[in-house]
Structure formats: C-alpha cells, structure tokens
Amino acid sequence: MIGRLTGRLLEKQPPHLVLDVHGVGYELEASMNTLLGLPPVGQDCQLFTHLVVREDAQLLYGFGKEPERRLFRELIKISGVGPRLALAILSGMEQGDFIRCVHDEDSRALTRLPGVGKKTADRLIIEMRDRLKHWTVSTDDGLNEMKRASQPQPPITHPLADAEAALVSLGYKPVEAAKMLSGLESGASTEALIKAALARKMAS
C-alpha cells in the first residue's frame, strides 16, 4: 500500500495530477480542495494517498490532509458510494461542512453535490452519523508542507475550458458546469474558477 508521497509536482490538470518522486511519475486523482491547496507546478509537496486496485486498473488518490483521506475511506465503505463519488463529495464541500451536514441531518445541502440524490443523501446521514460522532473540525488541518523550487508554473492557456472539464469529471452535467461558471471572471486561473463555481453551487 502506498500511504504517502513527497515529490515535485509535474502536472496539475484538475482533478488529475502527476507527482515526480525520485524520477518516477505517479498519476493521482485529488479532490478540488486538495488541488486548490497545492503549490504551483515545479514545486515540491507532500500528499497522503489511497490506492484502489481493480481488475482493470490501479487508481491512486491524493489528499493534502490526513483527515480528508480518513473521511474518503469512511465514505467508500458506504453502499453505493465509490471512490469517484467520494471524491466528488470532498470536492464539493470542506470536510468540516460535510461533518456539520451529517450532524445537522442537512440532506438538502448534500443533494447539491454531483451524483448525490435524496436517497443517497439520507443514506450518507444515517450511515455516517455514528462514524462521525466524535469527529471535530481541528484547526490543525495538516496542510502540506510546501517547498519552493526554481521551476516556474507554466501559463494556463484555457482556464475556463479546463475548469468546465474538471467540473464535468466530478459528475456535473456539461450544461450545469457551464451555468456554474457563467459570469465568472474569464481571466482567473483554473483553480480560482473551480473554487468560485463550487461555492456558487453550494450557496444556491
């Protein structure tokens, strides 16, 4: 099991990234919250990881915080919640917000997440309630230790298109993703557009 990786960030194309660890490039998928906390391409970072082995693929997921990985592992234990949906849930809201939704039985907020209908939201609340009973939102969130490197971040040429593709990969329909991004500043970075679109969705 690969539990943690430290290396240089080679590529960052939400929700995918490539981390160079001593010359070996590891392809990972990460939540938007993790991706937004990463340094520019060319700098070093550390990620906690979870490996999913299937018959047709081995998928590696990366997390900037260990508690986020723990929550991911709890989510995929629930019937009907696979790694992709778990990643979408972690992308759509902060860990603390999810815990509060479960404690407050706020299924309406959960249904704003892609792929989460009323039945899934109710199941998340019922099955996660006891598991999260003693969880608290810590101020010590275990953020990555970032090191500066000499390589600059390459320019992003199509941030709006990249942001829309990232939202679609999380489970939002293309029309919905376009609506979430409509009116946002086109000159912003991909990460900033994704963050603003997700915030707009959760506030609607």
Query: Quick check: 50 and 86 in contact, CB under 8 A?
Result: no
Output the tens digit of pLDDT for each of the chain's 204 residues: 789 999 999 998 888 999 999 999 999 999 888 988 899 999 999 999 999 988 888 899 999 999 999 999 999 999 889 998 999 899 888 888 898 899 899 999 999 888 889 999 999 999 998 888 777 654 444 333 333 333 444 444 477 778 778 888 777 887 888 888 887 776 777 878 888 888 887 777
Please tell me the number of Cα atoms within 13 Å of 112 on its side-chain side: 19
Give the separation between CA 76 and CA 63, rounded to whole angstroms.
15
Give the helix, strand, coil percentages of the chain, each rounded to 5. 40, 20, 40
Q: Which domains does the chain have, with CATH numbers?
A: 4-63 (2.40.50.140), 66-133 (1.10.150.20), 159-203 (1.10.8.10)
Query: Cα(21)–Cα(25) distance, rounded to whole angstroms?
Result: 6
Residue 19, number of CB atoms within 10 A of its CB: 26
Give the pTM. 0.72
